[in-house]
Amino acid sequence: MDTQGHKGAMLTTLKRIVQEMNQIPALDTALFRLASRVKQTLDVDSCSIYLADYEKQTFILKATDGLHPDAVEQVHIGFSEGLIGLVGQREEPLNIVNAQHHPRFKHYPEVKEENYNAFLGTPIIHQRKVLGVITLQQSEMRRFSEDEEAFLVTLAAQLALEITNADMRGALNNTANVNSIALQKNVSGIAGSPGLAIGKGFSPDKSLNLKNWVVKRSKNPNDEIQTYRKGVEVTRQHVDGLSKSLDDDIPDDVKSIFQLYHHLLDANSLGREVEEKIRQGWDAASSLKMVVENYAARFRAMDDPYMQERAIDIVDLSDRILANILTEGQGQKLVEKLATEDSILVADEVSATMLAEFPREKLKGIISIRGSNNSHAAILARAMGVPAVMGCQNVSPALLEGKELLLDGYAGEVIVSPERNIKTEFIQLIEEESAITERIDAEAGQPCESVDGCRMSLYINAGLSAEAELNAGHIGSGIGLYRTEIPFMLRERFPSEQEQVELYRQILESAPDLPITMRTLDVGGDKPLPYFPINEENPFLGWRGIRLTLDHPEIFLVQVRAMLRASIGLKNLRIMLPMISTVAEVQEAKRLVNQAYFEICDEVCESGEVLQRPKLGIMLEVPSVLYQLPQLAKHVDFFSVGSNDLTQYLLAVDRNNTRVAGLYNSYHPAVLAALYDIVQQSNENQIPVTICGEIAGEPAGAILLMGMGYRRLSMNAFNIRKINWLIRKVSLAESKQLLSLALTSQSHEQVFGHLNEYLETKGLGGLIRAGA
């Protein structure tokens, strides 16, 4: 027999069985259907499914085709009893020729299995937890084949996801009766924007969308083109209104998210292709659908999370155009009519426009089922100071609609239909946070110095749209990291030297007496430019940062020249190189910076203007540089630690991947040891070092970093006041004691235990959320 063909057929059958199960809303019914389909497909005498009940420590028979039907729900097998218990304990398949003679066999008279001998059982496991066991039984004495075992193992893996999803649906759907009590459920995601929030789940009406639109022909192309243009015009006005309605204190580069929308609304962008489709005989809505789905698919296919998120924006905007084509500009304010109480906005993919049009006084938090902390929704949420959780699995907006939600934007957790005591504790946390915020605001502007006289300098990370506050009053000691990528990402081509000069000049002039560190272009594998796509199997280890710009000196030189020209007459520019992994890269980059410096010097010498040579530094984020710091120190003026990437590389964890995001933690003792080693080596080599990852802006992190010897911390602007206030409440001696406890801990949980205990004893419990 053709083995490959047989396996292909098995896989097809397996997919069909899972799809059938998907379409049955009630889990019990779906499991019965599954059991009978597996029995029929594999031609065995019995298939049964047991699910774990952790409260009672038993497996309950939930469905069978072959055992006695009356035994369903009646048979409870202890976790350490019988063959079912053995499969659960061993967490691996058990294939037995004669089950009745196995030492662990236990007779349950209700199931009527006296005639069965052959037994195959496989555990159903999701995220290390045994959810149940699926079994096959046969009257003849035989060993089940490798194919049958492989089929059952594969099915069990699929079944684990379905049971998890159904468990979530069952707990959230609460449809048993009107008086029943909703069960509390926890939903995990990725922290998108810090903060705590309570509100009712609110899902905007997206009934008109391209996905559900069925394509239609039309015989009146001219009319359809007019309809399309009118729809675009109404959408343009609406987007303009939203852009203007955003708070004034949100930086311009956040509002530039809407520039992407304007670009897409331009007739030369989508418009030309849509009108071409209309001329081919499709109606306006169908033409829009075909063009947009093609664009969105291209964006989704990119490796870079930031670029994948742009597909969300394209689809969201196009759904709005569709609604305007179909309603001629009516029905655009659905959200404002419906959100009448404190709400947490829930959507499959929260878009920037959804956020902008939601009544601000009602918006307490955001849950985006898909999306990452790179999404425009997360960027905007951080700018607006709204807590957000992104990338939630095993849940849909419909299931959260109208439910009471507790949202923890620090941990990326959502509690649905909370129990009373949990809600009370959460309200207390919010009150503590609020009280501390008032105290922090009242003491803003004080010098950042510990109680025993350790002086710290706090800088801001700017340029990622969300946190750039280019107002000298808010940027502490200066800008420790200005990310230059955004203007590159918002264009259809590389920005010209003059365009870059204007932007950089504005930033340098915003605080002429404070140092401003500009990082050269940090794009590449994991965040390619739309006009410079890069497809790589492993983008984080690929062609990015300095590797890309050194391979394209024309891009690097234009940017460095622009920075230098922008700094003429000023003394505050510092240039930083990202993703350095060798001394040779520093030498080559330095040669190019010198070349650009002498070129600009020649240009300005006649005018009498002064060009100051900027200090040059490097990002420490690739683990290899930890072992070359003395050699690197000879070539640069300063170091800056990118702790986010350093953590990611040291722990081999992609922090945007929800499956392993739980392993990503900058408080892992190994990461803390690396950070401590860096500051010690920097001090030995007499080279200034700043740390600009997220750990610097977290209370727990700031205390540990001070204990290590860091004196320059760079963070998101909204954390500056909090960290300043905290430093003035603690001592350097205490932070050193805490550090020694942290460095000898076995896990990040143990580290947090020490930190939380310390903050509690200082009466700073309200900062614990932000610290962990």
Query: For residues 501 and 566, is the Cβ–Cβ distance under 8 A?
Result: yes
How are beta strands 196-202 and 712-715 bridged, if at all?
A: unpaired
Which residues is 124 bridged to in the sheet? 132
Of residues 525 and 190, more confidently modeled: 190
Task: Give exposure, 203-225, as e/b (b: 16+ Cβ within 10 Å).
Answer: bbebebebeebeeeebeebeebb
- Decide: residue 177, CB within 10 A, 0-12 exposed, 13-18 middle, 19+ buried: exposed
The C-alpha atoms of residue 131 and residue 393 are separated, in whole angstroms, by 17
486-490, 564-568, 625-629, 661-665, range with the lowest pLDDT: 486-490
The C-alpha atoms of residue 649 and residue 652 are separated, in whole angstroms, by 5
Minimal CA–CA distance to 209: which of 387, 364, 351?
351
Average pLDDT over residues 362-385: 79
Q: Could you state, in order of their start, the residue ranges of all structural domains in the chain? A: 3-173
450-459, 481-490, 601-610, range with the lowest pLDDT: 481-490
Please work out, in degrees rounded to the nearest 5, the angle formed at the alpha carbon of residue 603 by the alpha carbons of 601 and 606: 95
- Find the Cα–Cα–Cα–Cα dihedral 582, 588, 590, 595, rounded to 10°: -170
Of 392, 668, 692, 754, the active-site residue reads 692
Average pLDDT over residues 730-742: 96
Structure tokens at 50: 């047991």
Query: For residues 404 and 387, is the Cβ–Cβ distance under 8 A?
Result: no
Query: For residues 175 and 398, is the Cβ–Cβ distance under 8 A?
Result: no
- pLDDT band at residue 200 using 50, 70 and 90 as cut-offs: very high
CA atoms within 13 A on the CB side of 495: 22
- Those residues with Cβ within 8 angstroms of residue 383's Cβ, 6 or more apart along the chain or in another chain: 250, 251, 254, 465, 466, 467
What are the tens digits of pLDDT across the range 104-122?
Answer: 999 888 888 888 999 999 9
205-209, 238-242, 441-445, range with the lowest pLDDT: 205-209
- pLDDT band at residue 536 using 50, 70 and 90 as cut-offs: low
pLDDT for 748 equals 92
Minimal CA–CA distance to 755: which of 650, 665, 693?
665
Specify the CATH architecture of the domain 3-173.
2-Layer Sandwich (3.30)
Residue 377 in this model has a pLDDT that exceeds 90: no
* Averaged pLDDT of the chain: 83
Minimal CA–CA distance to 243: which of 253, 233, 232?
253
How are beta strands 516-519 and 479-483 bridged, if at all?
A: parallel
Residue 333 in this model has a pLDDT that exceeds 60: no
pLDDT for 174 equals 44
Of residues 615 and 717, more confidently modeled: 615
What are the tens digits of pLDDT across the range 636-653?
Answer: 999 999 998 899 889 987
Average pLDDT over residues 744-749: 94
260-264, 562-566, 627-631, 716-720, range with the lowest pLDDT: 260-264
pLDDT for 528 equals 59
Q: How many angstroms separate the Cα of 762 from the Cα of each of 722, 755, 766, 768?
A: 15, 11, 11, 11
The C-alpha atoms of residue 162 and residue 27 are separated, in whole angstroms, by 9
pLDDT for 181 equals 44
What are the tens digits of pLDDT across the range 60-113?
Answer: 999 999 999 899 999 999 999 999 999 999 999 999 999 999 999 998 888 888
Residue 266 in this model has a pLDDT that exceeds 90: no
pLDDT for 302 equals 67
Query: How many CB atoms are located within 10 Å of the residue 361 CB?
Result: 8
Query: For residues 386 and 353, is the Cβ–Cβ distance under 8 A?
Result: no
Cα radius of gyration rounded to whole Å, the chain: 30
pLDDT for 469 equals 45
Residue 228 in this model has a pLDDT that exceeds 80: yes
What are the tens digits of pLDDT across the range 563-601?
Answer: 999 999 999 999 999 999 999 999 999 999 999 999 999
- Is the torsion defined by CA of 658, 664, 667, 669 positive or negative? positive
DSSP calls for 102-129: STT----GGG--TT--EEEEEEEEETTE
Q: How many angstroms separate the Cα of 329 from the Cα of each of 274, 376, 513?
A: 19, 25, 50
Average pLDDT over residues 747-757: 92
Structure tokens at 146: 């490798």
Of 47, 126, 238, 376, the active-site residue reads 376
Query: For residues 480 and 461, is the Cβ–Cβ distance under 8 A?
Result: yes
* % of the chain with per-residue pLDDT over 70: 81
List helix spans (H) across 23-43. 27-42
pLDDT for 273 equals 84
Question: Is residue 107 among the annotated active site residues?
Answer: no
Residue 471 in this model has a pLDDT that exceeds 70: no
- pLDDT band at residue 347 using 50, 70 and 90 as cut-offs: confident
Minimal CA–CA distance to 485: which of 525, 517, 516, 528?
528
Of residues 269 and 233, more confidently modeled: 233
pLDDT for 327 equals 72
Average pLDDT over residues 269-296: 84
Average pLDDT over residues 603-611: 86
Residue 705 in this model has a pLDDT that exceeds 70: yes
Q: Among 333-337, 377-381, 550-554, name the most confident range.
A: 550-554
Question: Is residue 474 among the annotated active site residues?
Answer: no
Structure tokens at 61: 């028979």
The C-alpha atoms of residue 360 and residue 69 are separated, in whole angstroms, by 56
pLDDT for 15 equals 76
Average pLDDT over residues 344-353: 83
**DSSP conformation class of 504:** H
**311 φ/ψ angles, rounded to the nearest 5 degrees:** -60, -35
The C-alpha atoms of residue 732 and residue 297 are separated, in whole angstroms, by 53
pLDDT for 258 equals 66
